Structure 1
């Protein structure tokens, strides 16, 4: 019987292997479908952005308490080795250590944005040269290493190195991820929707990370939150390797050469957008390190209230993204207005913060700030890609590196400058100043009202879609049409440059 059953089992195993091979082949074919592939790419990028912002904010409830414990242990050891009469100076020593701890926390929080600010000009150029997939993989790899160091680091120097390393990873992952979305989604409405989804993941990561980290830190210890994030990062990297295959033998010769970042910085339209992205994020960047102390001193808030301060703001942020995407689809020529309106809302909400007396009252202006930021980001990030399309070369690494620089300027200053402003001028003056800056900057977005006049007609758009591939990946995959595309793109670029000169002369 065993001899007769063996051939049947072998045949059954062969059938199953054949079926598995067929399913794998079908999956590979599905992966090569452009529409399905770009959806998977959107998922990969969104997870990367989620991880980066969760790692950025998850340390908020963990690191201050952890460093305080380390400082307390060191203080106890110092006191144990001193003469008993030295205890009279313990109060002044405790105050000195507290001030030193505040400085250490501020520098630690800012180090990520500072390094990101320094690396972004280089990462943008690198992305323009090699494409978007390899830099995204580099960014995820660095973020994975950074997260592991956070999990097992047990002194300030190690945590500082991990935080700075995260800035290096973010400079590659964030910039290449957003640029990849802009490259794969070429239609303006689809691009706005895809970037809006990415912004929603950024918001979710930033706002859910503090309670996520605080709960796990309280019940499972310091390592667990970072180990969870490291595992998700590893899974996202494997998905990237499986779907996009960044090291496959695709020809990267004769790729379009992107416009250098220094030329993008002096483009008046792009400069206005970059300035708006910096200014609109200043209230969030400056309030995050200062609002907890203000709540404790003025409202006598509990730890859970301070920990959940920003969580309700996630919902108006997503609502702002949704509304802006819908409005942009109907009236794409009013993107500048949506951004300006968002800055006015941010300014008014920022001025309302110091007037709040309870936690419930504080929720409203914080929601207003995040709602306004959603309007500005969702309106202006697609505008950057469109400005590159009609004013420069359609390669997006440098322009989104410039956007990342804009964010990093705000978040590099926040943990260091905000505390000094509160100490010297007061919390009320800080908020009034941030609100005034946003309201005064909003009219500068009027310059962008001419952007809609640079748009090609529907016939030009159809011809462009038919005659030339859109985006860097399609350029690589359709090499035989490269010469034709290059000639058409040059003529189209000349046409838009002419149109722009005519607009300026009006």
Structure 2
């Protein structure tokens, strides 16, 4: 990211801009995927994980929504290169802090880490596919409106330059509010994560359909805030669900599944400038927004497939590694000790099934342990 930003600052032709853009996309993929995966690996409890991912998403949205006015103001008063130089310094400082605070794994630790599920197997998992589709669909309005809304504002409401530059800034605050509300609701009712995502998609759809009816800048703020509020609900509810699905259906290594999430975002934003511009040119801005709204509303019922996710039990392979078998290496030992500290005790049977201090099975709520035959049975309790 530091290198690509420096190239942007001194780019003078299309070829240089293309190289800088490619490097920026590569760096963003590394940063987003690894950062979210580390958060999911660090916070194993669902409430803590939702809160941590919500904070991360809030800062990601801060960059996306505050960047246009930030860059516009610095470009206007300080020149073209200053915004990129400032961002390059921020990237460099963040990289130094990252190396200082986050200690890399030693070779011994890496040797004892489990092998993650291949990304192609995660992609064909129906539950992960539904979540990935929701992440793509919910970000389509934002990705399609960013390159088209400025021209529409100029042609329909004679918006000034500062109004077009500040279009998305007010939407940052309802986005943070959506993250906060979803985290709170997920802590109280964790079995309704799919419902929060579905509500968010309905809000996005309704807000998208409202955009063409706006006649001035003040009216336009409301539907854009609704779009960002709905995106916050979907992202904050479904990103922790991806980690939970990997925990219960695959191996608890999160890099691949959050790479899928990053691909979902990238698909929406890659199609934005090309597809949105073509739709506006051939059909019109109104039809673009109605189509985006309809797609979000129609996709919302698909999240009903996730309603039983919270009842899933860990897969047999995961239980073998972390619960039934003894620790085989440093990584397994660490995971075993962490589970002991969190759960405060194990059942007295030889299978070492996780239970609370009253000896109650934490997955089903019954005082029993799973035998070898039971652990290889259905995935639902």
The reply on whether 1:411 has 2:269 as its aligned counterpart is yes
Q: CA deviation at 1:152?
A: 1.2
Kept in 2: contact 1:392–1:493 (CA 8 A): no
Matches within 5 A, 1:88-107: none
2:286 to 428, 441, 456: 428
Distance 1:449 1:479 in 2: 28
1:357 to 215, 226, 235: 215
Q: Which residue of 2 aligns with 1:209?
A: 67
Kept in 2: contact 1:346–1:369 (CA 8 A): yes
Distance 1:398 1:385 in 2: 10
Kept in 2: contact 1:149–1:158 (CA 8 A): yes
Q: Which residue of 2 aligns with 1:498?
A: 377
Pair 1:321–1:161, CA change in 2 (3 A): same
Distance 1:286 1:480 in 2: 46
Distance 2:337 2:147 in 1: 53
Q: Which residue of 2 aligns with 1:232?
A: 90
1:197 to 55, 58, 75: 55
Distance 1:304 1:495 in 2: 64
Distance 1:199 1:310 in 2: 16
Q: Which residue of 1 aligns with 2:346?
A: none
2:255 to 392, 397, 406: 397
Q: Which residue of 2 aligns with 1:245?
A: 103
Distance 2:257 2:219 in 1: 39
The reply on whether 1:167 has 2:25 as its aligned counterpart is yes
Unaligned runs of 5+ in 1: 1-142
Distance 1:242 1:353 in 2: 45
Pair 1:333–1:198, CA change in 2 (3 A): same
Unaligned runs of 5+ in 2: 341-350, 354-369
Q: CA deviation at 1:153?
A: 1.1
Q: Which residue of 2 aligns with 1:283?
A: 141
Kept in 2: contact 1:252–1:476 (CA 8 A): no
Pair 1:452–1:294, CA change in 2 (3 A): same
Q: CA deviation at 1:411?
A: 0.4
Pair 1:466–1:364, CA change in 2 (3 A): farther
Kept in 2: contact 1:280–1:346 (CA 8 A): yes
Q: Which residue of 1 aligns with 2:307?
A: 449
Q: CA deviation at 1:215?
A: 0.8
Distance 1:312 1:347 in 2: 19
The reply on whether 1:475 has 2:342 as its aligned counterpart is no
Kept in 1: contact 2:117–2:251 (CA 8 A): yes
Q: CA deviation at 1:243?
A: 2.1
Q: Which residue of 1 aligns with 2:129?
A: 271
> With structure 1 as the length reference, what TM-score do the two structures score?
0.65
Kept in 2: contact 1:275–1:406 (CA 8 A): yes
| Residue-by-residue CA offset, 1:467-498 (whole Å, 9 max, x unaligned) | 989xx9x828849989x9xx979x99996763
Pair 1:494–1:349, CA change in 2 (3 A): farther
Distance 1:386 1:299 in 2: 46
Distance 1:285 1:329 in 2: 30
Kept in 1: contact 2:323–2:336 (CA 8 A): no
Q: Which residue of 2 aligns with 1:369?
A: 227
Pair 1:477–1:234, CA change in 2 (3 A): farther
Q: Report the number of matched residues.
A: 347
The reply on whether 1:348 has 2:206 as its aligned counterpart is yes
Distance 1:241 1:493 in 2: 43
RMSD of aligned alpha carbons: 2.8
Q: Which residue of 2 aligns with 1:339?
A: 197
Distance 1:377 1:488 in 2: 35
Kept in 1: contact 2:324–2:352 (CA 8 A): no
Distance 1:479 1:363 in 2: 47
| Residue-by-residue CA offset, 1:115-146 (whole Å, 9 max, x unaligned) | xxxxxxxxxxxxxxxxxxxxxxxxxxxx1110
Q: Which residue of 2 aligns with 1:75?
A: none
Q: CA deviation at 1:465?
A: 9.1
Q: Which residue of 1 aligns with 2:172?
A: 314
| Residue-by-residue CA offset, 1:435-457 (whole Å, 9 max, x unaligned) | 0000000000000001011157x
Q: Which residue of 1 aligns with 2:347?
A: none
Distance 1:175 1:497 in 2: 32
